[in-house]
């Protein structure tokens, strides 16, 4: 026998669930309540709360990738229980990151050595199925997430930077460079502080990603294509 709840009975059931969730000590609900406090007066101007999870496609998806998306989804789901504000989950691929090492679980790994430090979407696909190694791993990630039924929107750093969608934010980051660096450096060890920068320029000749500090002189010149480091992953509001 199937019992369908509707009308006042369903409303009471949902009210009980929300009341229980608001009192729950489980960490997803705890984090969701922190988010909800920011919107005590209602939904943000864009009409929804945005959650984001990041992925570096330097290799094939694994259990750590699953955990990254699963944790953010758990908080998003908890938020939906305690609030009527719509939500959205973005899975962002940092596929402009440089390939720092050659994975050991790909065909013909020696063929990739000459492409070290190049953006992942500029590295040939050793499997021979996609435009680049980055594109291949992005496809594997999406298939991986779809298999587990995650609801998300997928975005690629290559597409966003190439289309200029980050231009306004990049210019603002240049204007606020000192303030941003002060926040980031406070969280790093002394050795890492010496080389850290929120900007990663491409070498104009080799196309490799340069992991070097970017000094104040950048303010007076027109920068070459840049990529930015993400300070954190997880809920992005």
Q: Does 165 score more than 60 pLDDT?
A: yes
- Report strand pairing: 199-201 vs 153-156: unpaired
Q: Does 177 score more than 70 pLDDT?
A: yes
C-alpha span between 160 and 137 (Å, rounded):
17
pLDDT of residue 106: 93
Pair 217, 201: CB distance under 8 Å: no
For residue 185, is it within any domain?
A: no
136 burial (CB, 10 Å; 0-12 / 13-18 / 19+) is buried
pLDDT of residue 213: 80
Work out how many domains the chain is built from and give that number. 1
Sign for the CA dihedral angle at 148, 143, 152, 73 comes to: positive
Can you read off the two tokens belonging to residue 41? 């007066």
pLDDT of residue 236: 37
Q: Does 235 score more than 90 pLDDT?
A: no
DSSP 226: E
Choose between 10 and 82: higher pLDDT. Answer: 82
For residue 237, is it within any domain?
A: no
Percentage of the chain modeled with pLDDT above 70: 84
Model confidence pLDDT, tens digit, residues 77-115:
999 999 999 999 999 999 999 999 999 899 999 999 999
Identify the band that residue 11 occupies on the pLDDT scale cut at 50, 70 and 90.
Answer: low
C-alpha span between 90 and 88 (Å, rounded):
7
Structural domain boundaries enclosing 41: 7-166
Q: Does 197 score more than 70 pLDDT?
A: yes
CATH, residue 66: 3.40.50.620
Residues 30-43: what's their mean pLDDT? Answer: 94
For residue 222, is it within any domain?
A: no
pLDDT of residue 6: 55
Choose between 10 and 124: higher pLDDT. Answer: 124
For residue 232, is it within any domain?
A: no
Pair 198, 228: CB distance under 8 Å: yes
Q: Does 205 score more than 90 pLDDT?
A: yes
Can you read off the two tokens belonging to residue 115? 């492409």
Q: Does 222 score more than 70 pLDDT?
A: no
Q: Does 52 score more than 70 pLDDT?
A: yes
For residue 210, is it within any domain?
A: no
For residue 227, is it within any domain?
A: no
Q: Where are the alpha helices (DSSP H) in 83-121?
A: none
C-alpha span between 120 and 143 (Å, rounded):
19
For residue 198, is it within any domain?
A: no
Helix, strand, coil abundance in the chain, percent, nearest 5: 45, 10, 45
Residues 6+ apart with CB under 8 A from 125: 131, 132, 133, 135, 136
For residue 65, is it within any domain?
A: yes
Q: Where are the alpha helices (DSSP H) in the chain?
A: 7-23, 27-37, 63-82, 133-147, 157-162, 167-175, 177-185, 190-193
pLDDT of residue 207: 93
Question: CA of 92: how far to CAs of 51, 54, 56, 101, 158, in Å?
Answer: 11, 5, 9, 21, 10
Pair 140, 204: CB distance under 8 Å: no
Identify the band that residue 174 occupies on the pLDDT scale cut at 50, 70 and 90.
Answer: very high
């Amino acid at each position: 026998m199937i019992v369908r709840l509707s009308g006042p009975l369903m409303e009471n059931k949902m009210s009980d669930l929300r009341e229980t969730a608001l009192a729950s000590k489980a960490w997803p609900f705890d984090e969701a309540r922190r988010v909800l406090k920011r919107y005590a007066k209602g939904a943000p101007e864009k009409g929804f709360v945005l959650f984001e999870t990041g992925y570096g496609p330097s290799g094939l998806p694994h259990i750590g990738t699953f955990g990254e998306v699963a944790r953010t989804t758990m908080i998003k789901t908890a938020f939906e229980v305690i609030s009527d504000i719509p939500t959205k989950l973005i899975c962002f691929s940092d596929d402009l990151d440089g390939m720092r090492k050659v994975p050991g679980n790909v065909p013909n790994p020696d063929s990739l050595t000459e492409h070290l430090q190049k953006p992942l979407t500029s590295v040939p696909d050793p499997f021979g199925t996609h435009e680049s190694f980055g594109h291949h791993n992005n496809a594997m990630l999406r298939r991986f997430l779809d298999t587990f039924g995650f609801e998300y929107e997928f975005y690629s750093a290559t597409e966003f930077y190439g289309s200029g969608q980050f231009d306004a934010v990049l210019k603002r980051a240049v204007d606020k460079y000192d303030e941003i660096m002060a926040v980031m450096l406070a969280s790093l060890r002394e050795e890492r502080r010496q080389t850290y920068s929120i900007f990663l320029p491409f070498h104009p000749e080799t196309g490799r990603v340069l992991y070097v500090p970017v000094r104040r002189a950048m303010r007076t010149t027109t920068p070459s294509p840049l990529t930015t480091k993400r300070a954190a992953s997880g809920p992005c509001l």
